[in-house]
Amino acid sequence: MQTRWEGRNVDLELLSMKIIEFLERKNFDVVNQVSEKTIEIVSSYSEGDTYVSFVIRIEGDSNDFKVDLKGPESERIRFFSPFLEMVGMGFLFSKKVKVFDLCQKLEDEFWVFLDEIVPSISGSGSGS
């Protein structure tokens, strides 16, 4: 999923630090990669046999930027689930559903977090 903000004058490095803090509070390991117009945050979480990773990209400048969140391919779960149950591999499906639920919850919380944090740091950028 992707969202775009215009005319907010947001310091994108500050935004990325807030996103990293959010992910670390959720016990994700985080790696931050910065280039001229892109900040990429690679995050991963593991607990027992559950492993999840997300890539968050912030692209643009302080007055026109977009945030893109990419997680696991959840549509495959829905497509293959009847087949897995037919061949006696429903346990794989239940494991995938657990991961899917975790991912969906985090995605929902992430977008709510961004909707709250972007207005609170508006005006922090170097743009006019």
Name which of 5, 1, 126 is nearest 59 in CA terms: 5
Structure tokens at 22: 């959010």
Topology classification of domain 2-121 = TATA-Binding Protein (3.30.310)
Q: Determine the Cα–Cα distance for residues 73 and 128; give it in Å rounded to an integer.
A: 39
Q: Given pLDDT bands bounded at 50, 70 and 90, which one contains residue 120?
A: very high
Integer distance in angstroms from the first to the last C-alpha of the chain? 28
| E-state strands within 1-128 | 2-6, 29-34, 38-47, 50-61, 64-70
Percentage of the chain exceeding pLDDT 70: 78
Please, how many CA atoms are within 13 Å of residue 29, restricted to the half-sphere of its CB?
7
pLDDT, position 49: 73
pLDDT, position 42: 94
**pLDDT tens-digit map of 53-97:** 899 999 999 999 999 998 876 444 444 555 555 555 555 555 666
Tell me which of 93 and 40 has the higher pLDDT. Answer: 40
Average pLDDT (109-127) is 90
pLDDT, position 127: 63
Q: Mark 23-42 as b/e (b = at least 16 C-beta within 10 Å).
A: beeeebebeeeeeeeebbbe
pLDDT of 125 over the 90 cut: no
